[in-house]
A and B are shown apart, each in its own frame.
Chain A
Amino acid sequence: MSGILVVVEQRAGRIARISWEAVAAAQHLGTQLSLPVSAVIVGAQTEALTAEIAAKALAEVVRVEHPLLAQYTSDGFSLSLHQLIQSETPTYVVLPHTYQVRDYAPALAARLGQVLISDVVAIADGPVFTRQLLQGRLNGNYRPTGSGPGFVSVQAGAFRAEAAPNAAPAAPQITTRATITTFTPTLDSAQIRTKPSEPYRGSSQTVDLGSAQRIVSVGRGIKGAENIPLVQELATALGAELAASRPICGNGWLPMERQVGSSGQTVSPKLYLAVGISGAIQHLVGMKGSQCIVAINKDPDAPIFEVADYGIVGDLFEVVPALIEAIKAATQ
């Protein structure tokens, strides 16, 4: 067949959002090239999930099933998918750009003499695949020129999962539910060279701001030690670690190990919420690597606003309680 194969990834018996986004990307590509889209799920027991996938507007759902695929290994996945691709001969293979895909897809593509176009953020006519270069400072448009199947992995959030149409009557071009087939690869345990253990959580007994994903950081604007519980409450509501600038720790309002900055820790969380921090250089160098910086400060000229993505100019004693309430409402 010629068509598009999209690999759906399961994690702990669930299909993550990014896989649905990959399905949406594959459907987008399918529409563009007028090719049918089929999904693949790899594992040892994928039955329950298959039904969920089949509800999408897909031609076929292929279950690649083998006891040796119960746990992910690069060898197991690339061997199985290699066999499937050789039998199905798709035009494109679309994958979600996950840690797992990054681990096996380049080898899989290379085995077929192809190169994975990874971390794609847009697909234009041609098709031309856009990916980010120079850490987001440049976009590059890639075109496959080989004769074999094209491999593409898509970035999280680049395609809308909600856009993946269901096989409902509302979608006129699809009239039937996807057919479900099972593909059993030939696998031998000797072919699987790596032995992974069960995943485990990183230890979190000590304060480790360096690996925290969310940080609420407090500065001089908090005025006194008696107001620390207010920001602690905000941190709890966000599921964030509490950190502080140098004067706060210097005054003993929070322990030294929570200090962010040149004489404390360097952090790079997804969200850095700076409350009452004006943004002295010692502080900025410790948190400039954060993906999203939000600043709450009453001084509109505070240097922190220069590095912030979002800013609220106002009295933190009004803004923070309102924010706690809004977050609680949004996450319940």
Chain B
Amino acid sequence: MILLLPTLAEPQHFSLLEKLLFAGLAVASAYSFWRRFGLVLGKILQSKKDPSFHFFPIGKRVWDFVWEVLFQAKVIRERPLPGLAHAFVFWAFCAFALVTLNHCAVVLGLGFLSPEGQIGRLYFYFAAVFALACAVSILCLFVRRFLIRPKWLGENLSYQSGVIALLIFVLMATYLASFFVADASPSARTLWWIHTLALLTFLPLIPHTKHLHLVLSPATVFLSRGSFSQIPPLSGDEDFGLVAGTDLTRLVSLQAYSCVECGRCTEHCPAANTGKLLNPKEIVLGLRGYLNDLGPASAEPLLGKYNAQEAVFQCTTCGACEFQCPVGIEHLPILVGLRRGAVNTGSWADGQGTKLFLNLERGSNALGLSPAERDKFIEKAGLPLFDGTQEYCLWLGCMGGYDPKGREIVAAFARVMNYLGTSYGVLRKEKCTGDPVRRLGNDLLFQQLAEANLEALAQNKVKKIVSICPHCVRTIQEDWKEYGTPPEIEHHSEFLARYADKLPHQTSPGPSHLEKIVFHDPCYLGRYRNVYDQPRTVVALAGELIEAPRNHERSFCCGAGGGLAFLGEETGERVSHNRAAELVATGAQTIAAACPFCNTMFRDALAATGEAAPELMDIAQLAARGLPQSGAS
């Protein structure tokens, strides 16, 4: 079979002039590549070392590298068609590594893959398959970028991308064409030279354009911090977060140079989607601009000319950007890092933000209410106090302890636990976990709150915590680690799903009679904790689960996270309204939430949609609804 197919034509002899010309061009191309790439590499290496960075466990790094880089899994999963096209280009590049090496070696008479030999021939066919796929893919990507023009790629057309696409196409086309000419023909020589020129033009373009990601992103993915939204600890007495160039770490600089400007972060960002200044892509590019102009040794503030403070404080920390990023950029440590820099040095002076901080400096909860209000609720709801004998400590959180809606959720969850015979108790005194101040970058306050709470939990000998608030769960489990060892904790959705068999299941003669319930994935439960199925199990007990267009990992934020629930009125459209409209449009009779912040945001948003708004319930309330009335205590 193979013998019937054409073979790749290679020019056999090169004149001295050709050899010299090639050598000269190759050196010029490599020099031009290095002039820029060396500079970038220098900026990255001159950046501060990441104090908390360690290679281990290395297994996860290797796996991420294989899965995200080699298999292109994230690129394909999140945008299947363009993702697949990109993957073909990437795979073709990989396959072409040997082909290109051989191509250049031939001119010096050092070719190691012979089109005549069995292995060489096979490999050239193998590469040809990818070349074909790549050529088709790059055409499609070209059409998408320059004719379809999705809005998240930005207003301005990237002509660089056009040139790069053309070069890639030329590379593939000349390679494929070489199969159809004779070895010694002038056509073969012409194709060889065109291919070579395209190659030598392409090389220096890499570091000068966003195609730098070709070189950097495999490293970025491999070296990433390893877990979602991991905020690195501050080190030493002079580290206040990302204040100036000197605070940029190697990881941050590497990530800034890795951005491929695909706009996935922007596409999914709640702020960018509701007319706010924040655009996560621009934050990363702002840092890159800073590094290009001023470098990592600069004492110039990072916020100002290159990135706006206003934008940085519009982030809900929903993490959609970081989750989506195909090149391993960790937006949350960057955004929170910039906030830390502003807050830890006192340069952020927002009225509402200051009020939140002062409330927590003096009091115990983010709402600034009297702890006596919490005591009153505990008494009224008949919640037992934790005395060390019970299995669970029921963590109320600020919303569960003070917010009327949050209290209803706690009461409903307590009913279910009573029904199941689970022993639990609440702490006499509880402070805010520090979630909003952690996300807003107030390390002083966060440390005080975390330490006070850790001490109280240790004194009370708490072993296991369950909470209705995903923000509390996340902060206790992950963020407190910086200051001690938090007890085991789970979200009530995980608890309820575990006991789903023992809870009443709503059944009806036909599915059409079941109440349609749409579930909203809270960011801090889904993306932050990877819990998607458990709340759905609970919803399915009460009715027919339906999905919103944006669900699971792609769920759209309610607008409350990142401390924004406590800041002032938003600019542009309210994030909560955007999401609520989407949930209402599903036609569900009930919206199920699993976070008291989402709940309170939607409550307001639904009020604005008018009389026919669906009912809004927490999953605990849905679970409690099915209980026999006598089960109430």
Contact = CB atoms under 8 A, between A and B. Distances in A.
Q: When A and B assemble into the complex, do they touch directly, with CB atoms less than 8 Å apart?
A: yes
Interface in B593-619: 600, 603-604, 607-608
Nearest to B356: A262
B352 A281 contact: no
A89 to B, nearest CB: 46
A195 B403 CA distance: 50
A281 B406 contact: yes
Given A281-B404, A282-B604, A263 B352 contact: yes
Contacts of B603: 280
A247 B367 CA distance: 19
Interface residues of B, number: 22
Given A280-B604, A281-B402, A285-B369, A264 B355 contact: no
Contacts of B608: 247, 250-251
A223 B403 CA distance: 24
Interface string B336-357: 0000000000000000100100
Contact of B352 (A246, A262, A280, A284): A262
B566 A281 contact: no
B456 interface: no
Contacts of A250: 574, 604, 607-608
B405 interface: yes
B139 to A, nearest CB: 48
A180 interface: no
A153 interface: no
A247 B405 contact: no
A220 interface: yes
A281 B604 contact: no
Contacts of B367: 262, 281, 284-285
B604 A247 contact: yes
A280 B566 contact: no
B368 interface: yes
Binding site secondary structure of chain B? helix
Contacts of B352: 262-263
A282 B368 contact: no
Interface residues of A, number: 21
A113 interface: no
Interface in A173-223: 220
Interface string B315-335: 000000000000000000000
B566 A262 contact: yes
Q: Most chain-B Cβ atoms within 10 A of its Cβ — which of A256, A279, A281, A284? A: A281
A259 interface: yes
B194 interface: no
A284 B401 CA distance: 14
Nearest to B566: A262
Nearest to B569: A263
Nearest to B370: A288
B368 A285 contact: yes
B567 A281 contact: no
Interface string A256-272: 10010011101000000
A52 B437 CA distance: 60
B568 interface: yes
A247 B569 CA distance: 12
Contact of B404 (A246, A259, A288, A303): A303
Interface string B577-604: 0000000000000000000000010011
Interface in A256-312: 256, 259, 262-264, 266, 278-282, 284-285, 288, 303, 306
A281 B399 contact: yes
B95 interface: no
B406 A266 contact: no
Contacts of A262: 352, 367, 565-566
A11 to B, nearest CB: 35
Q: Which 3 A-B pairs have the closest CB atoms?
A: A303-B404, A281-B403, A247-B607
Interface of B: 352, 355, 367-369, 399, 402-406, 565-569, 574, 600, 603-604, 607-608
Given A246-B604, A280-B404, A280-B600, 19 more contacts: A220-B607, A247-B607, A247-B608, A250-B604, A250-B608, A256-B569, A262-B352, A262-B367, A263-B352, A263-B569, A264-B568, A279-B404, A280-B405, A280-B603, A281-B399, A281-B404, A281-B406, A284-B369, A284-B404
